[in-house]
């Protein structure tokens, strides 16, 4: 490469990086704080309490080595953030290239309000590692997880901070966390309640894997009935993201008679106007690890799914998907947030002006943490509930939360998201007020 070539290459890299920075401008933590502020402004809350609630209060960044399969050492950056009021704090662990401190702070902050909406005795936390898990072998994933757990040995604890799965992690990863923690902190004796979302055979709860998607669809059904006076049968649906939350939501919607016309993953959208067969799509994506090449559908770009002519859109991938740029083109009558923070504050204003109902993440996807709470409680008592009991309890919690959010929204003459925040902030503010300020 000549000197000029190098300069040009550098310049191109800078332009690409600049473009990416422009895309990444929406800070999910600031976005969540704006949602919080909108609700707090409607409430009469002690001015000494609000600043404590508005910020996460524990942030840890660790850089640690992992040996790759070919014997090289690669450095990884991991995080754990807590928003500590009621303990233990609770929240998932994300493995994704997008993971940074602000993303994890946003997700920890949201967890507090989510736990309060469903009335769990937890506040929020979140963790993650900046990585692309698809490029790591199973051995590398395991070594990375165990080393991250070691770095977090003074943070994770059954009564202090209890992780769970999130994007890019699963029950197997939770099993490695439990095993590593038990070895390091308890001489190899099992500490099952230090993490939730474990395999059922390894002190996990029945129904945890399905919990978030089931909750999403139960809330979608309640909200649809509330705002459009009908059931879900025959409604056209699109689901963005076909992982844990997206695939279970799509299946549950299909079971309720919806026509799931499109689903997507990181590689693109698949679309069939007559409706996709979700079992078939699940079988295909489990086998190939992608929706690419799926035979019975049209294929299009990753974000095309968001703008399709459907009744209900379930974003179930990642944050900042509905932005002021695409919000004017969203055709769904209702957006049900399976993902955390998929809608920016400014996009939501545009959606509201167009009459689209947004069912917020801190209500819609709270089923996962609810069954994580059941799992933690089962582990503490060393017993296991039957699947039906888990689903019945989950259904009760979600139903109660929906009614409370709806009533708060009505009382404050506001939307569902602000109603959910009002409910949650009221609960946590009261808790903090009763405990007082130390020293
Ligand atoms: N797992 C849970 O219990 C749970 C609970 C509450 C909320 N959530 C939230 O739900 C969302 C999905 O989590 P999950 O556990 O299903 O993750 P997952 O890793 O199982 O699946 C993620 C899906 O999103 C797709 N995806 C990733 N990047 C994408 C992109 N840029 N564009 C389109 N699709 C993309 C992936 O291909 C995959 O299909 C996240 O926002 C997570 O925080 C998860």
- Output the DSSP codes for 62-119: EEEEEE-TTS-EEEEEEEEEEE-SSSSEEEEEEEETT--HHHHHHHHHHHHHHHHHTT
Options 126, 198, 251, 333, the catalytic residue: 126
- The first and second tokens of residue 211, run together, are 């919990």
Which residue owns the Cα nearest ligand 1 atom 33? Answer: 266
Q: How far apart are CA 276 and CA 264, in angstroms?
A: 12
pLDDT score, position 25: 61
Would you say residue 108 has pLDDT above 90?
A: yes
Return the SS3 of 92. strand
Whole-number pLDDT of residue 422:
98
* 338 within ligand 1 shell (Cβ under 6 A): yes
* Span 420-432, average pLDDT: 98
**Are β-strands 58-67 and 298-300 bridged in parallel, bridged antiparallel, or unpaired?**
unpaired
Query: Radius of gyration over alpha carbons of the chain, in Å?
Result: 22
286-301 pLDDT tens trace:
999 999 999 999 999 9
Is residue 6's pLDDT more than 60?
no
Residue 123, strand partner residues? 89
> Residue 130 has which token pair?
């900046």
**Separation of alpha carbons 187 and 366, rounded Å:** 34
Where residue 193 falls among pLDDT bands split at 50, 70, 90? Answer: very high
Average pLDDT score over residue span 247-258: 98
What is the 247 CA–ligand 1 centroid distance (Å)? 10
Which residue, judged by its Cα, is nearest atom 13 of ligand 1?
167
Do the first three CATH levels of 54-190 and 210-364 match, i.e. the same topology? yes
230 close to 198: Cβ distance less than 8 angstroms: no
Instruction: Determine which residue's CA is closest to atom 4 belonging to ligand 1.
Output: 166
Q: What is the pLDDT of residue 307?
A: 98
Q: What is the dihedral of CA 355, 416, 315, 207, to 10 degrees?
A: -140
- Tell me the CATH architecture of domain 210-364: 3-Layer(aba) Sandwich (3.40)
Mean pLDDT throughout 202-214? Answer: 97
Question: Ligand 1 centre and the CA of 365: distance in Å?
Answer: 11
Q: CA–CA separation, 365 vs 370, rounded Å?
A: 9
Question: What is the average pLDDT score of the chain?
Answer: 94
Number of other residues whose CB lies within 10 A of the CB of residue 211: 29
Is 126 a known active-site residue? yes
Q: Does the structure show a pLDDT above 90 at 8?
A: no
User: 342 in ligand 1 pocket by Cβ < 6 Å?
Assistant: no
Show me where the domains of the chain are located.
54-190, 210-364
Q: What is the mean pLDDT of residues 300-327?
A: 98
Which atom of ligand 1 is closest in space to residue 164's alpha carbon?
3
Which atom, in ligand 1's list, is nearest to the CA of 197?
3
Task: Using the mean position of ligand 1's atoms as its centre, give its distance from the Cα of residue 296 in Å.
Answer: 23
Q: What's the CATH class of domain 54-190? A: alpha beta
249 lines ligand 1 (CB under 6 A): no
**pLDDT tens digit sequence for 384-403:** 999 999 999 999 999 999 99
Distance 354 CA to ligand 1 centre (A): 27
Q: Which residue among 110, 316, 375, 401 is best mutated to probe the pocket of ligand 1, counting the most ligand atoms within 8 A of its Cβ?
A: 316
Ligand 1 within 6 A of CB of 207:
no
Q: Whose CA is nearest to atom 27 of ligand 1?
A: 266
Look-up of token digits 């994704």: 96
Under 8 Å CB-to-CB from 341, ≥6 apart: which residues?
28, 31, 32, 106, 107, 110, 319, 320, 361
State if residue 358 touches ligand 1 by the CB under 6 angstroms criterion: no
């Amino acid at each position: 490469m000549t000197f000029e070539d190098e300069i040009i290459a550098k310049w191109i890299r800078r332009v690409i990086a600049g473009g990416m920075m422009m895309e990444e401008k929406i800070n999910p933590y600031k976005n969540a704080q704006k949602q919080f502020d909108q609700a707090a402004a409607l409430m009469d809350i002690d001015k000494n309490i609000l600043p404590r609630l508005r910020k996460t209060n524990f942030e840890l960044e660790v850089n640690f080595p992992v040996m790759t399969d070919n014997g090289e050492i690669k450095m990884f950056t991991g995080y754990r953030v807590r928003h500590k009021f009621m303990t233990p704090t609770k929240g998932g662990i994300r493995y994704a290239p997008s993971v940074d401190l602000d993303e994890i702070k946003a997700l920890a902050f949201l967890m507090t309000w989510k736990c309060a909406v469903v009335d769990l005795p937890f506040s929020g936390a979140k963790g993650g590692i900046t990585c692309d898990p698809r490029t790591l072998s199973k051995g590398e994933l395991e070594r990375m997880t165990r080393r991250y757990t070691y770095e977090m040995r003074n943070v994770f604890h059954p009564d202090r901070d209890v992780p769970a799965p999130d994007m890019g992690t699963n029950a197997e990863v939770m099993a490695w966390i439990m095993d590593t923690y038990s070895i390091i902190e308890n001489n190899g004796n099992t500490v099952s309640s230090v993490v939730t979302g474990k395999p059922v055979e390894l002190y996990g709860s029945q129904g945890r894997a399905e919990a978030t998607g089931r909750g999403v669809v139960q809330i979608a059904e309640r909200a649809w009935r509330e705002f459009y006076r009908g059931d879900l049968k025959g409604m056209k649906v699109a689901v963005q993201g076909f992982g844990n939350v997206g695939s279970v939501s799509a299946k549950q919607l299909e079971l309720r008679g919806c026509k799931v016309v499109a689903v997507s993953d990181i590689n693109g959208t698949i679309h069939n106007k007559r409706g996709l067969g979700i079992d078939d799509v699940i079988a295909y994506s489990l086998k190939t690890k992608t929706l690419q090449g799926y035979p019975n559908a049209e294929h299009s770009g990753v974000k095309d799914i968001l703008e399709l002519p459907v009744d209900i859109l379930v974003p179930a991938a990642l944050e900042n998907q509905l932005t002021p740029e695409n919000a004017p083109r969203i055709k769904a009558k209702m957006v049900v947030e399976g993902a955390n923070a998929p809608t920016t504050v400014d996009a939501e204003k545009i959606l509201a002006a167009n009459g689209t109902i947004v069912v917020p993440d801190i209500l819609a996807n709270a089923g996962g943490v609810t069954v994580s709470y059941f799992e933690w409680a089962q582990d503490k008592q060393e017993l296991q509930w039957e699947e039906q009991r888990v689903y019945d309890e989950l259904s009760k919690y979600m139903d109660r939360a929906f009614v409370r959010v709806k009533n708060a929204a009505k009382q404050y003459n506001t939307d569902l998201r602000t109603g959910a925040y009002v409910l949650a902030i009221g609960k946590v503010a009261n808790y903090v007020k009763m405990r007082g300020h130390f020293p």
